Amino acid sequence: QVQLVESGGGLVQPGGSLRLSCVASGIGFEHYGIGWFRQAPGEEREFVSCITAAREATGYYADSVQDRFTISRDDAKNTVTLQMNSLKPEDTAVYYCAAVPYGLGYCPYFKYVHWGQGTQVTVSS
């Protein structure tokens, strides 16, 4: 059974940082591409960042988070981490991680098949 569990969300002031983690089980993690998406109230879900399978481990970012967020993976721990710095109120959303097998190539275009339950990030003073 595939399971993705996000953690690390919370309330932070503008300019602050949070570190989100996605822990996977039930999959051959090193062969999977992992993505982060977010959905704000009343908005559609949008791509945030992704990292390809371990053989490449290439990260990609939405323009809105480029230079502020950093994605990384630890295949020994089946974990992908999203370090979020210089947070803005517009980053407020539920953040979801997702996984796709054979995850090599341009991961923003992947059709992700496994999804976590999400973690809330609120940026407010």
d(CA 76, CA 108): 24
One pLDDT digit (tens) per residue for the chain, 125 residues: 899 999 999 999 999 999 999 999 999 999 999 999 999 999 999 999 999 999 999 999 999 999 999 999 999 999 999 999 999 999 999 999 999 998 888 999 999 999 999 999 999 99
Burial letters 110-121, b for 16+ CB under 10 A, else e: bebebbbebbeb
pLDDT at 102: 86
pLDDT at 56: 92
Q: Are strands 10-12 and 119-123 parallel, antiparallel or unpaired?
A: parallel
pLDDT at 113: 96
d(CA 51, CA 31): 11
Q: Are 13 and 123 in contact (CB under 8 A)?
A: yes
d(CA 58, CA 51): 5
Half-sphere exposure of 42 (CA within 13 A, CB side): 1
pLDDT at 68: 98
Q: Which residues contact 15 (CB under 8 A, 6 or more apart)?
A: 86, 87
pLDDT at 103: 84
